Amino acid sequence: MVENKTWLVALREYTENLRTKTFWLGILSFPVILIIAAVVPSMLAKAKDVRRYAVIDRTEWLLPAIEERAQYDDVLQLLKFLQKQAAKGESALAKMPAALRGVAAGLEQKSSKQLETQARFWTGLGKSFANLQATPKPDEGSQGPEVGEQAREFLNWFASLSPGEARSLQAGVKRERYERIEIPAGTADPEAWARAQLDSGKSGLFAYFVLGATPLDSNEGFKYVSNNRTDKELKDWIGRLSSEEIEARRFAKEKIDPDVARRIQAPVYFDEKQLDSSGQEKEVSSKDVIRQWAPLVFVYLLWVSIFTIAQLLLTNTIEEKSNRIIEVLLSSISPLELMTGKILGIAATGLTTIVCWVGFFLIGLKFMPKLMDLPADVDLTVLISDPSFLLSFVVYFLLGFLLYASMMVGIGSACNSIKEAQNLMSPIMIALMLPLLAMMPVGQDPNGTLARILSFIPPFTPFVMMNRAAGPPEMWEYVVTTILLIVSVLLAFFAAAKIFRVGILMTGKPPKMGEIFRWVFAKEGK
Amino acid sequence: MEYALTLEHVSKRFGAHRAVDDLSLSIPSGSIYGFLGPNGAGKTTTIRMVTNIIQPDEGTITVLGQKSSELTKDLLGYLPEEKGLYKKMKCAEILAYFGRLKGMGAREAKTKARDLLERYGLGEWADKRTEALSKGMGQKVQLLGTLIHDPRLLILDEPFSGLDPVNVELLRDLILEQRRAGRTVIFSTHGMEQAEQICDFIFLINNGKKVIDGPLSQVRKSAEQAVMLDYDGDGSLLASLPGVVRVNNAGKSAELFLAPGSDPQLLLRALVGVVQVRRFDQREPSLHEVFVRAVGGRQAAKDLSHG
């Protein structure tokens, strides 16, 4: 009979929560956040303003070389993009400008090496673009694929491609973001001109470069002038292109064979391996890397779930108190039944939310890589391939939830408003932040001293032990920490029941911490 | 006599404060018992102990023949002073929920909830959320919630406060109806008028101690004789008239208290010369007066006029 009433309270709590908009918004917020997290960063990057820049070239040759290299990068990027689109089928290509459609058709079977050759050849032609238009046929001696009507059309199109058009194409070319402004011919002091432009901001100039006169010998005279100190992308990009060109010329000047130079410069590369279960070396796959990171994902999920639900319980208790219905309920059931019922009801609500979230998450794992443009061989479903992760997640969720729920109910029952509760909450909030902060260090060193110590502090146990799952911790650690956790859950629960019994009927000034402790240790009935 | 409720030497302390001090009380079955007392006198504490929401430090409470415990909760119907409803629940649902918390079966509670709403003119609200109810209707639903499991003992804490005259009448009828059905009703109130109209017994508590306890008629007799007067003119001289001990003057009407043995006729004769008498009503003292005298001091009177 007694349990019966607890279930009644729990059931009512659950059905009422299911009827609120907040509940459904909470469920839907997760996939929305998931999608936003996957799509928005790249969208934001694309939405950046076009950066206009000017280059004052004191060498006469470096700027054209940079331009040529930039053009090569973009054309290669475009070819790769077209190849991908072509693989998707007719409908994807139908949206493309006519100049690209023809080019795309021939790309499907080509290797990335072949694409590079084609890009190099085409941009080589682009350099003498004026000639190309005058003489329809390329030089007899040139190697590489035959340049026909298609290439000409493509290069014509590319030459007149504006940043806006480039962006709407979503191919990821640099043209989307950067536009070089020509310094008017015959300007006596180009640098003064650029300075004035940047200062007045009239032409929307973001930065200007000065390329030093003797780049092969020294960096002297190289300058990057901008008022933006945070966005270094343009500087890095032009810097990379210049370095590549200058490097090549230095080798040529010293009469070093480019192949030799490449060999000299080649960095040492460690081939990453790991041992499999039988002690044999094996390749490190993306799967293994993801598996290593999986616990972190679960810690985060655990944290968010426990935190969300505990918060829900806190507001719910305070609401119920201000609702003035408590006394009616208490004339029918005991405070312990009421509290247990509420905790169970909210736990059920929370579990429903989390099951939905996990569902979305699993669906997300299938589609996230595509949304985030991750390489095709990255399979995020590895995250949940290990059942012990899911099992320990459920166990730690329940224990962790009960622990924090007891604290929240205790606090909630002693307070009359959310504001009052927040004061009492702050120690708990700080405690909750710690496992999040420790997430990376513990993840990197799952069996280190920090990880071990934190595992034995019950409020942190669920998070830290989850965090260490890839370690994995030793069996005795699992056993001892779990026993500690269960004992603390029981203690917290009965302390909360004591506080609840007194606090729930209190109105007026919120009690001090000391007073609350006295309730806990007071004899029954007082 | 059979008792619905007995308290024997019950005490309750909150820290150093004695909220209820050595209280003994026997409430006969089938009676209407009024709990009176100024704010903070211990009415609500007493009621909470009877409903087993809090436990007494000392003494025993017997509810309908059983020692008060978690189990006796189901036998009681309790309407607290602080009352509310779940806003998002439908009227019939919340009534059924209250019924089920008192141990009713699911189907029984459901039918009974609709019956009650229908019977008390709230049938069309059965499937509406309680947040749509007016305050008066809300209180009605709350009251029905305490009745749904047919409790033999009904405890109402300040049931009349905040009700409009129509609802006051409705509630009064409902309480009388409960007595006709053989149930016992205890209610606490600040409204002397209601207490006078319907109570069989009066219990007055002050500073946690019993001050008066007995049948209404006896309680009244124990107090001074009084005259109700409606008048026009200067009332400042009323107190100096022959035989008048004290005046409870409201400007256009006054309650005059007479010294024991004095003649009201003499007073009437004297009054004619002082003010213009519109009504002269010789009667037993009002419960209000009993209350004020028992509690003593102006503070209590103030409490009353604000209550």
The tens digit of pLDDT for each residue in B78-98 reads 998 877 888 888 999 999 999
- Which of A139-148, A257-266, A512-521 has the lowest average pLDDT? A139-148
Per the listing, tokens 């020509």 go with: A182
Q: Could you tell me which residues of chain A have a Cβ less than 8 Å from any Cβ in chain B?
A: 1-2, 5, 8-9, 12, 16, 19-20, 323-325, 327-334, 505, 524-526
Q: Decide the pairing of beta strands B58-63 and B3-14.
A: antiparallel
Among candidate residues B193, B190, B150, the one with its CA nearest the CA of residue B172: B193
DSSP calls for chain B? --EEEEEEEEEEEETTEEEEEEEEEEEETT-EEEEE--TTSSHHHHHHHHTTSS--SEEEEEETTEE-STGGGGGEEEE-SS----TTSBHHHHHHHHHHHTT--HHHHHHHHHHHHHHTT-GGGTTSBGGGS-HHHHHHHHHHHHHTT--SEEEEESTTTT--HHHHHHHHHHHHHHHHTT-EEEEE-S-HHHHHHH-SEEEEEETTEEEEEEEHHHHHHTS--EEEEEEES-GGGGGGSTTEEEEEE-SSEEEEEEPTT--HHHHHHHHHHHSEEEEEEEEPPPHHHHHHHHH-HHHHHHHHHH-
Q: What are the pLDDT digits (tens) for A404-447?
A: 888 888 888 888 888 888 888 888 888 888 888 888 888 888 88
| Percent of chain A topping pLDDT 90 | 10
Q: How wide is the angle at C-alpha B267 spanned by C-alphas B265 and B268, nearest 5°?
A: 65
| Cα–Cα dist A505/A520, whole Å | 15
With contacts defined as CB-CB under 8 Å, which chain A residues touch B51? 330-331
| Cβ atoms within 10 Å of A440's Cβ, excluding its own | 11
Say what the pLDDT of residue A235 is.
92
Say what the pLDDT of residue A368 is.
65
pLDDT of A188 over the 50 cut: yes
Instruction: Judge: A325–B73 Cβ closer than 8 Å, yes or no.
Output: no
Instruction: Judge: A324–B76 Cβ closer than 8 Å, yes or no.
Output: no
With contacts defined as CB-CB under 8 Å, which chain A residues touch B76? 331
Q: Decide if A270 contacts A417 (C-beta within 8 A).
A: no
Cα–chain-centroid distance for residue B30? 16
| pLDDT confidence bin for A126, thresholds 50/70/90 | low
What does the radius of gyration of chain A's CA atoms come to, in whole angstroms?
A: 33
Q: Decide the pairing of beta strands A51-57 and A178-180.
A: parallel
Say what the pLDDT of residue B100 is.
93
| Cβ-nearest to B55 among A9, A16, A525 | A525
| Cβ-nearest to A331 among B57, B76, B84 | B76
Q: Decide if B78 contacts B145 (C-beta within 8 A).
A: no
| pLDDT confidence bin for A378, thresholds 50/70/90 | low
Q: Decide if B27 contacts B137 (C-beta within 8 A).
A: no
From A523, which residue of chain B is nearest by alpha-carbon distance? B57
With contacts defined as CB-CB under 8 Å, which chain A residues touch B82? 324, 327
Say what the pLDDT of residue B219 is.
79
pTM of the model: 0.70
The CA distance from A97 to the nearest CA of chain B, in Å, is 57
B83 in A contact zone (CB under 8 Å): yes
Q: B276 burial class (0-12, 13-18, 19+ CB within 10 angstroms)?
A: exposed
Q: What are the pLDDT digits (tens) for A487-504?
A: 999 999 989 888 888 888
Say what the pLDDT of residue A60 is.
84
Print burial letters for A156-190: b (CB count within 10 Å at least 16), e (below 16).
ebbeebebeebbebebbbbbbbbbbbebeeeeeeb
Q: What is chain B's mean pLDDT, rounded?
A: 85
With contacts defined as CB-CB under 8 Å, which chain B residues touch A5? 101
pLDDT of B259 over the 80 cut: no
Say what the pLDDT of residue A16 is.
86
Q: Decide the pairing of beta strands B253-258 and B226-232.
A: antiparallel
The CA distance from B270 to the nearest CA of chain A, in Å, is 53
Instruction: Judge: A8–B101 Cβ closer than 8 Å, yes or no.
Output: yes
Instruction: Judge: A16–B89 Cβ closer than 8 Å, yes or no.
Output: yes
Q: Decide the pairing of beta strands B244-249 and B226-232.
A: unpaired
Say what the pLDDT of residue B304 is.
47
What's the longest Cα–Cα distance across chain B?
Answer: 72
Q: What are the pLDDT digits (tens) for B177-232?
A: 988 998 999 999 877 878 888 899 989 888 888 888 888 878 777 666 778 889 88
Say what the pLDDT of residue A230 is.
85
pLDDT of A129 over the 80 cut: no
| Cβ atoms within 10 Å of A302's Cβ, excluding its own | 24
Instruction: Judge: B103–A1 Cβ closer than 8 Å, yes or no.
Output: yes
Say what the pLDDT of residue A133 is.
40
The average pLDDT across B247-262 equals: 82
Say what the pLDDT of residue B300 is.
43
From B106, which residue of chain A is nearest by alpha-carbon distance? A8
Q: In this structure, is the dihedral angle defined by the CA atoms of residues A502, A504, A506 and A512, taken in order, positive or negative? A: positive
Could you tell me which residue, B98 or A302, shows the higher pLDDT?
A: B98
| Cβ-nearest to B86 among A325, A505, A525 | A325
CB pairs under 8 A between A and B: 67
The average pLDDT across A328-346 equals: 89
| Cβ-nearest to A333 among B83, B101, B146 | B101
With contacts defined as CB-CB under 8 Å, which chain A residues touch B74? 332
Q: Decide if A477 contacts A316 (C-beta within 8 A).
A: no
Grouping H, G, I as helix, E, B as strand and the rest as coil, residue A215 is coil
* Total residues found in chain A within this entry: 526
pLDDT of A380 over the 70 cut: no
The average pLDDT across A330-352 equals: 88
- Which of A116-125, A275-284, A506-515 has the lowest average pLDDT? A506-515
Query: Tokens at residue B203, please?
Result: 């219990």
With contacts defined as CB-CB under 8 Å, which chain A residues touch B88? 16, 19-20
Say what the pLDDT of residue B94 is.
93
Q: What are the pLDDT digits (tens) for A453-465?
A: 998 999 899 988 8
| pLDDT confidence bin for A525, thresholds 50/70/90 | very low
| Cα–Cα dist A505/A338, whole Å | 13
Query: Tokens at residue A316, please?
Result: 């719910």
| Cβ atoms within 10 Å of A226's Cβ, excluding its own | 17
B98 in A contact zone (CB under 8 Å): yes
Residue A164 neighbours by CB under 8 Å, 6+ apart = none
| Cα–Cα dist A17/B84, whole Å | 18
Q: What is chain A's mean pLDDT, rounded?
A: 81
Q: Which long-range contacts (CB under 8 A, 24 or more apart) does B262-267 make?
A: B262/B225, B264/B225, B264/B227, B266/B242, B267/B227, B267/B241, B267/B242, B267/B243
Instruction: Judge: A331–B51 Cβ closer than 8 Å, yes or no.
Output: yes
| pLDDT confidence bin for A224, thresholds 50/70/90 | very high
| Cα–Cα dist A299/A285, whole Å | 23
Instruction: Judge: B102–A332 Cβ closer than 8 Å, yes or no.
Output: yes
| Cα–Cα dist B301/B307, whole Å | 10
Instruction: Judge: B51–A325 Cβ closer than 8 Å, yes or no.
Output: no
Say what the pLDDT of residue A524 is.
54
Q: Decide if B185 contacts B179 (C-beta within 8 A).
A: yes
Print burial letters for B208-235: b (CB count within 10 Å at least 16), e (below 16).
bebbbbeebeebbeebebbbbbebeeeb
| Cβ atoms within 10 Å of B15's Cβ, excluding its own | 7
Per the listing, tokens 């040139």 go with: A142
CB-side exposure of B171: number of CA atoms within 13 Å? 30
| pLDDT confidence bin for A386, thresholds 50/70/90 | low
Say what the pLDDT of residue B124 is.
92
Alpha-carbon distance values, B198 to A493, B32, B67, B145, B177 (Å): 47, 7, 28, 22, 11
Instruction: Judge: A324–B51 Cβ closer than 8 Å, yes or no.
Output: no
Say what the pLDDT of residue B154 is.
93
